[in-house]
Chains A and B, each alone.
Chain A
Amino acid sequence: MDKKVKKEFDPKIVGFLCNWCTYAAADLAGSSKMEISPALSVVRVMCSSRVDHNLVLTTFFNGADGILIAGCHPGDCHYGEGNYYARRRYALLKKVTESLGLESERLQLTWISASEGNRYAEVVNSFTEKIAKLGPSPINCRSDL
């Protein structure tokens, strides 16, 4: 509601981070005291492959302005091939989000290893900027989660 009237727009971003790589990168960024946008809220999952279409779409339907899915680099998934599945689901989800009238940039999948604290900070901050420029998500059919 008032979110759209506000001059300065604070995007609401959900980051689904794989426990083994990106979550650890987020920890590293934290312990290195990097400044990271509070727009993104971290939701820890065990593997990027756990992020299914329902989770993504429900998150968008409920008003998320952006979703970041981040896991281990290809070949490094703790469970062997999970991130390859994540990548395929992502390709499909990109199309679905577009067909819903959402800019496809609002959904981003990326690989960040446990040692890439720097990159984690960069990705989150630049993703926040990108979403801030896009403005509030046009979709908000808040269901009862």
Chain B
Amino acid sequence: MKAKVGVYVCECGPNIASKVDLDRILETLPALDEYREIELVVKKYGLLCSADGKNYLEEEIKSNGFTHLVLGACSPRDHNKTFIGVCKKTDLNPYLYKIINIREHCAWIIPDKEKATEKAISYLRGGINRVLYQSSLFEKQLDIDPDVVVIGGGIAGIETALSLAGEKRNIYLIEKSGKIGGKSSRFSSLLPRQGKGLALIEEKIEKVSANPFIKVFLESSLESIIGFLGNFEIVVKSKNGNTDIKAGAIVVASGYGLIDPLSSESHSYSESDDVYTSLEIEEMLKEHGKIMTKSGKEPASVALVHCVGREEKGYCSRICCNYMIKIARYLKDQSDAIKVTEFHKGLCMPDKGDQSFHKAMAERGVEFRRIQKITQDGTKISFTGMDGSPGNADFDMVILAPAIVPSEDTDSLAELLEIPVSETGFFQEMHQTTDPVATSIDGIFVVGAAHSPKGITDSIFFAQAAAGRILTHLIPGEKIVPEVKVTEVLEAFCTGCQNCLDVCVYGAISYDESKGVSVVNEVVCRGCGNCFGSCPSGALRTKHFTNPQLYQEVREAIR
């Protein structure tokens, strides 16, 4: 069949028409020798994106029976979707159309009208040649499962579950330990700015148990996972066997751990010493209601040492300064006579309310001592002050704030889920600034302290953000349309070298042992085209951006 290409240039009001000679385009294009073999209809129109314009275009496509369509208009970033929508109302496959940006790339940047017109003609010729090389692509509609699996039942996991659970969405909360609540439920109180504090957390835990749409798996773990956004298949391993679950999204909320202080050269102590980690103090208080030495006495002097292991780790743990002041308050509340000294290397007080808490505790007699260096041997502490002068002191009790590190299962979870970890060892987000809750796998999110050291408030922010993303992307009853401009493997050319597998950050490519070739999962592929350049055999083809298609544009560019 002879190709019949419709070319419509848009005046865009005066935007294009005053800067590009559209009539010259109308004369020039049909007269070109190279289009002898095809039928070319070239017209101009006032505002193609207006309601009238869209109707006009639809009628033109239908009545002319175009095989291909080229629009000379604005940026595809503005109106590509608009005109894809128009094509969809006709028999013309939207991937046989192309918009050519003669506004931003000609009219607005080339003051000389003649030159701008020449450039527009050049771009349009590239576009006409390109569409002739384009192929129809067909969108697939995929059913989705709106259910969500949450890994980790700390405050981050709990908040995610509560934000998402409902009539049409079940949540499966997988918790490794025997109860939900995570570390926050082991504390005796929260920070003053956190208001109702612990009661609030307990309420949330109760709400989870009472919610009929949340199923909690205790003493359980993720056994395996396959699939993609909307269609994950998960196996949960519990004491009494495995459970198969289908879900549309996964939220990782596996929390954090504390570095072992003894791994730092500056700290040494044995079990018989009155040296505790911050978490051990929280637990002691929760269990016994009092902070006591091993011999059962109230300590007369306590040193609180900040930033243990910070140098080794290379990052600030963000929350310790605050909770160490909270521990100072426990001590002062217990007895004003206890002498409390906080050794810190500069206080991190990022949230509103933090600074006034610090001030209040300083007024209650807590000594805040900024130091350069510290070594601790049992309850003996030696330090270098800010002025370089050395000092040492012995205390009845030493409490350490060990650096927050990724929870122990981070690496194994990362491997199962095929998501990366960053150089700090925490799960890597898609983008630290613009996409902090997503991961490189569509449909897998990371929240709470599993993402990076975080207090409860920030953990809740993250949980709600991830829930928001899921609520807008996985709507019960709606289908999702995966990217169609994806990469395919031409099996006849693939040698099975598997170069491409390493290149794809989305893990969209796998190797088919039986056929000896690689396979792209079209639902997972985003069509970036990165793998294309990694294939030594020319076996890959990124649809809609194939080399023959791009060469058509290149040819006109260098004519």
Contacts and interface: CB of A to CB of B under 8 A. Distances in A.
Interface in B467-514: 485, 503, 505-506
A64 B545 contact: no
A49 B550 CA distance: 14
Contact of B554 (A34, A38, A43): A43
Contacts of A98: none
A19 B526 CA distance: 13
Contacts of A80: 430, 440, 505
Contacts of B553: 41, 43
A90 to B, nearest CB: 11
Interface stretch (A54-62, A102-110, A127-135): A54-62
A41 B126 contact: yes
A50 B533 contact: yes
Contacts of B104: 26-27, 29-31
B557 interface: yes
Interface stretch (B82-90, B106-114, B329-337): B106-114
B279 to A, nearest CB: 34
A7 interface: no
Given A30-B108, A38-B110, A79 B526 contact: yes
Interface string A22-44: 01101101110111101001111
A33 B431 CA distance: 31
A46 B529 contact: yes
Contacts of A30: 75, 101, 103-105, 108-109
A52 B552 CA distance: 16
Contacts of A51: 533
Contact of B77 (A23, A63, A78): A23
Contacts of A27: 75, 77-78, 101, 104
Contacts of B527: 46
Given A36-B110, A79-B505, A80-B430, A41 B530 contact: no
**Interface SS, B side:** helix
Contacts of A75: 431-432
B457 to A, nearest CB: 27
B438 to A, nearest CB: 11
Nearest to A43: B553
Given A34-B109, A38-B115, A44-B76, A62 B558 contact: yes
Contacts of B116: 38
A42 B122 CA distance: 11
A63 B551 CA distance: 13
A71 to B, nearest CB: 11
Given A24-B77, A58-B554, A42 B505 contact: no
15 contacts: A14-B557, A27-B104, A35-B109, A38-B109, A41-B553, A46-B545, A52-B533, A55-B554, A59-B554, A62-B558, A64-B557, A79-B530, A82-B528, A89-B533, A121-B109
The 5 closest A-B pairs by CB, nearest first: A30-B104, A50-B529, A52-B533, A41-B557, A49-B530
